[in-house]
Amino acid sequence: MAHIKSLLLLLFFSLSLLVFHYIGIQSYFYWSIGWYDTVSHLLGGIIIGLFTMLFSVGSNFSKKVSFWRSLLMALGVVVLWEFFEFETGITYLSSKYVIDTLFDMLSGLVGAIISVGISLLFFKDRV
């Protein structure tokens, strides 16, 4: 039952990000609304964190280990994503690039922390 709840949460946030991203692309919100990109990175961090926590449900990992696993997984994916954005030309080097990249990474990490909180709330002693 715990795995079904985890999968439903993961599906909910994944579909939310998919819809959010589709609307952002179609309506040019990524380029016209400054905070839009931040929300997508936050949702991405939640998804990565929930995906990682899914493997912790029912395991013998301590809550501390589960927390760090989620955080490190999110950090790894966020770093890879930022390289992807740069290499494909989605972002470009400018004076704002470093700040934007750091803020994107922070948003992903905050999302992972939120996912740990969600997991602890829904699964209490199983995580």
* pLDDT per position as a tens digit, 68-89: 888 899 999 999 988 888 888 7
* DSSP string covering 88-113: TTSS--STTHHHHHHHHHHHHHHHHH
pTM of structure: 0.86
Question: Could you state, in order of their start, the residue ranges of all structural domains in the chain?
Answer: 2-126
Task: Quick: pLDDT tens for 90-119.
Answer: 776 666 777 888 898 999 999 999 998 888
Choice between 60 and 79, residue whose per-residue pLDDT is larger = 79
Task: Quick: pLDDT tens for 21-46.
Answer: 999 999 999 889 989 999 999 999 99
How many other CB atoms are there within 10 angstroms of residue 59's CB atom? Answer: 12
Q: What is the predicted pLDDT for the residue at 116?
A: 86
In sequence order, which residues have a C-beta less than 8 Å from that of residue 31 and are 6 or more positions away? none
| Cα–Cα distance for residue pair 75/57, rounded to 1 Å | 21
Q: What is the predicted pLDDT for the residue at 119?
A: 83
- Asked if pLDDT for residue 127 goes beyond 60, the answer is no
Apex 49 CA angle, 10 and 120, nearest 5:
85
